[in-house]
Structures are given as structure tokens and as C-alpha cells.
Structure 1
Amino acid sequence: MLFGRRKPGYTTTVDAAADPEQVILDLQKAEMAAKKKPKAEVFDIDAASETARRLKETGSIFDGSAAKTGEDVIAAVERETDALAAKQAGAQPAPAQTSTPDDAEKPQLLDFLAAAPEAEGDPYADQPTVTAPELPELTPAQELAGYIRSRSAAALVTPHALLVSEVENADELLTQMPADPQCTDIVSRTGTKDTYYYSSANMSDNYAMIAQLIEDRDLCVMVAEMVRFNARVYPSATPLRYFRRSPYDLTQEAIEQTWQAMQGRPEYADIEELTNNQNERFLFSTKHLTRRYAKAISDVDEWTD
């Protein structure tokens, strides 16, 4: 048996023929060496009592003082054991302080919540449902105006013939629009083939003019009007390639055929052609530009600063 905990590879057995005093000294040295280890070992009183009991059975005593006082081995071992346990208890580190003096002064969350006054009413109660005000019912004229607006937003004018074919009493509804404050944005343009309606809130007047010319499908009128418009407003000559772009989307062949059809007709006598210094062809209106000026603004500068 060990005097203390049994260690792997360390075993001491008390022999009857061994010197009892030497045995006790060896056990005390082992205990002292165990105390010097980083982690203190727990003193095993049962193992010590067992060792003392065997010594008593052999008639051995610890030392001469024990024999003189008549103290038996068990009592001596218990006394030594108590002294060693008390010494080990004193060597144990004090338990870590888990609280500070200020902890008592800090409010606890649960106590704070329990002491808080109850809120009046339920803050999570369902809010009353607010019903959106009902929109006034549209009149037939306003509904027709909405249809024209939707087409204008899609870059389309609305021919009068289309309205008559799709809407009952279309003419009557169109006459009601000017007096209706909800329909003041609906205006019209008169072309060579029909009258066209559009929303001035969704389409500019200039674009409406272009859309009307395209809807009329008279290419000669369309080309002449756009050449005159560019010469008057900007002023500038109009390159022939201009009509190949959106929203005209004419082919080069269609442009050439249209220009040939315009020549020799008196209503297009003011439309003339010129070629700039880059050999690009332009059309201009003599009503608004002289040939010299049209040529000057069409040429590309060949010099830089």
C-alpha cells in the first residue's frame, strides 16, 4: 500500500523484516516530494491507517518517544496524518473572488424589469385598418383620355379613325374633353390624311409633328416638313442619312425615291440639295437658308487650334 495516492510505477510494500523507522522516513520523503509538484495531491488517510495497522501487527513502533509514552502506532499515524492534512489545507490557494464590492450596487436586469411600471395599453396591439379613400368613378370621356395618354407614352399618336372604329360615341366624348379639367392635356394635330390626338403631358409637340407625318405615310410631305423645320429652328441643313434613323427608319432606297419624287413639284420648290466638304449630301430649304449659309454650316472644319 502507498502512504497517500498510488502512483504509476511507484509502489511501497511494508515488509515485516524491514526497519519500521526507515519505512516511515521513506514515506515522509515521498509525501514531501509530492507537495513540491505543481498540483498538490490529496492525503489518503485510509492508506496511512492501513500501513499503521500492519506495523502494529508486527509489534513495531514509530520511534522511541512513542514507545516511552505508550502511544500506539495508529494514534501516532493519525496525529501525523492530521498535521499533514492541515498543512496541505493551508497551502491551497484561496478561491477566486467572483464578485466585487460594486456588484451589490449594480442593478440586476430582472429586478429592474420587475420594478419598472407597466405600460398603459398594449403597444403591440393591432392598429386600426385605414381604408384608402375611394377614387371617383371616371367618366367615359376621362377613360378615353386615359387611352390616348397610354398611346402617347408609347410614342404613338392616336388617329381619329382608330377612335371611331373602337369607341362608341367617340366624337361626342372628344367634344367633352376641352371642358373637362381632367382632360386638358389631350390635344390634336391635323395631317393630310387624318386628325391625330396625343397627350401633351407625355409627348412634345415637335415629336407629335414627326409622329403625325409618319402616320400620314406621305414620305414627300414628311421629308419636306422636316427639312423646313430643321432649317427654321436650329438652323441647319438636313443630311439624307437623317431619315434612316428612328423614328423614320427609311431605307436608303426609299430616301432616294422620295427625293426624286419631290423634284419638279412646285410645292417642294424650296427644297434643294448640296454636298459638303466631306462629300456628304444634305437637303435645305431656301425659305429659311441661303445656299452659301447652308453650305457653310454643313462643312466640317479641317483645322484645329
Structure 2
Amino acid sequence: METQSAEAPNYKQQAEELHAALGAALENIRSQSCDSALVTPERWNATGMAPAWMDVEAFTDAVRDALAKFHASSSEHDCGATSGAEQIEPTNEAEAATETSSDEEEAIPASASSEQPASLDEALAALPAIPCADICVLEGKSTTYFYSNAYMTDAYANWAFLAQEDDKVQTFVSVVREDSRVYPRPMVYRSLLNPPFRMTEDEVLQCWQTVQETGKFPDIESCEASNGDVYFFSTDYLSPRYAQSLAEYESVERLANP
């Protein structure tokens, strides 16, 4: 006679534990975004946020799956909302609810509610999707970064991502181009001394020297205001003459005529 192993996993319980952990992880991402910080799986490992029976890599995969599940369910809801409404016939709501409830009770065996799911995925599928429309993912060279765009702008997240990846030259070039393209304005060297970059003046100078020596970034140029402030800009978006005038205004004329 076969008996069920005492060590057989309780998928329903595991799913509930994982669902709660995922909710906590997403809230932690939002909290860290409020503090201008990206979240990596290493944080979940250090804080013991993942369930005890799941390693951090599997938990990270579960976070990804939760994001995909939410977006998929949101898309299905949006696509079906109009057509579903068109097909509904006016009914007596109380009568319909009573009839549906009665039919379901007859159709579902009494033992169904106590049956164990066949797998963790099946148990998770029975739980509601966790709201996470604001959670974004950035893929690094060796790890993954998460943030909430409800509390951190995409631009700042990208800058923080570049700083975390520690590719100073690419960070330098990306920020210079971003300032020239979006605002548009040349970037004063002091910008990279602030969070999230926290470069030193020597590091900024080294980035500029590398840009000049490699010749890989021919659009990146520099100009100097009359007070000595050094600016960098991209000729893809700003002409040298216009960048010079903007630098002079920002460092000298604006301060002289408040």
C-alpha cells in the first residue's frame, strides 16, 4: 500500500509564503527608490527576504515572474474590458448571484478546497497578481537592478545604474549627451561630483582624457566659462558657439544678474 511521503512539499503553503515575500520585496524596492537607491538581488540575500527554502537566484526569478504575470493580466483585462461589457445582458443582480453560487456549489466537489496543488506554479497561479506596474528592471553586466518609477525618475535610475556598473567613461559620455539632448545645455564638471555618481575631480578629468585619446566619442567636446568653470557637451545636439554662450550664462551672467 502506497503512502504519501511526510516530506512532500506543501505547495499551497509555499505559494502563500512566496507571495508574501514577493509583496515585501516590491515594497522594499519602492522604499529604496524613495531613498534614491537601486535594489539588487544581493540586498534580498543580505536581509533574508526570500523564503528559507528558496535561494536568492530562484527568488529573483520569482520576482521577474510576478512582474510578467501582473503585466500579462493587466493586458488581458484591458483587451477584454470593452468586448466583455458589450456581451453582458441586463439581469437581476441578486438573482444571478444566487443562481451562480448555487451552480458552483453543485459543480465543485466538497473535497476540492482541501486538495493540494500539483506544483508550486499551480499554487501561485491561484493567487492574485501582485500590483507592480511601477517596478522597472535594468540588466547589468553581472547583476539585475530594480526600481520604482513612481518614486525615482527613469533618468535618475539610468544614472544610478551607470554609476553602479562603475564604467566611468561610459557614464561621463552618457550624462553629457543626455544634458545636451534633453535640456539642452552643456554639463558643468561639478555635476559628476554629486550623487549618484560621486566622482572626484581627478576621475572626471581622466574620463575627459580617455574620451580625447580613444577617439571613440567624437561628438564630445568641452568649453570654459570666463570664471574657469569647465563644461562638456555633445555636438550632436549643441553647436560649440551655443554651448559656450550657455556655459557663460550659467556660470557668470546668471549670477551677476539674479
**Fold agreement, TM-score > 0.5:** yes
Equivalent in the alignment of 2:253: 301
In structure 2, what residue type is equivalent to 1:301?
E
In 1, distance between residues paired with 2:36 and 2:134?
15
Of residues 169, 184, 196 in structure 1, which corresponds to 2:133?
184
Q: CA deviation at 1:269?
A: 2.0
Equivalent in the alignment of 2:149: 200
Deviations 1:133-173 (A, max 9, x none): xxx98533222212222222221112356557864322133
Deviations 1:200-248 (A, max 9, x none): 2221112111111111111111111111111011110011122222332
SS in structure 1 at match of 2:222: strand
C-alpha change, 1:239 and 1:190, in structure 2 (3 Å) is same
Equivalent in the alignment of 2:6: none
- State how 1:1-305 maps to structure 2 within 5 Å: 138-160=19-41, 167=50, 168=55, 169=58, 170-178=60-68, 179=70, 180-191=129-140, 194-299=143-248, 300-301=252-253
In 1, distance between residues paired with 2:215 and 2:41?
30
C-alpha change, 1:265 and 1:192, in structure 2 (3 Å) is farther
In structure 1, what residue type is equivalent to 2:34?
A
SS in structure 2 at match of 1:158: coil
Q: CA deviation at 1:191?
A: 4.1
SS in structure 2 at match of 1:273: strand
Is contact 1:227-1:237 (8 Å) kept? yes
Deviates more, 1:199-208 or 1:232-241: 199-208
C-alpha change, 1:246 and 1:256, in structure 2 (3 Å) is same
Deviations 1:58-80 (A, max 9, x none): xxxxxxxxxxxxxxxxxxxxxxx
Q: CA deviation at 1:190?
A: 3.1
Is contact 1:189-1:212 (8 Å) kept? yes
Q: Which has the higher helix share?
A: 2
C-alpha change, 1:267 and 1:171, in structure 2 (3 Å) is farther
Bigger RCO of structures 1 and 2 (CA < 8 A, at least 6 apart): 2
In 2, distance between residues paired with 1:240 and 1:295?
14
Identity among equivalent positions (%) equals 27
Equivalent in the alignment of 2:123: none
TM-score under structure 1 normalisation?
A: 0.49
SS in structure 1 at match of 2:253: coil
In structure 2, what residue type is equivalent to 1:172?
A
In 1, distance between residues paired with 2:61 and 2:211?
36
Is contact 1:194-1:216 (8 Å) kept? no
Is contact 2:23-2:130 (8 Å) kept? no
Equivalent in the alignment of 2:90: none
In structure 2, what residue type is equivalent to 1:268?
F
C-alpha change, 1:208 and 1:274, in structure 2 (3 Å) is same
Gaps of 5+ in 1: 1-135
In 2, distance between residues paired with 1:190 and 1:291?
35
Paired positions, count: 170
C-alpha change, 1:304 and 1:250, in structure 2 (3 Å) is closer
| Higher alpha-carbon Rg | 1
Q: CA deviation at 1:261?
A: 1.9
Provide the alpha-carbon RMSD of the alignment: 2.8
Is contact 1:141-1:177 (8 Å) kept? no
SS in structure 2 at match of 1:272: strand
Is contact 1:244-1:252 (8 Å) kept? yes
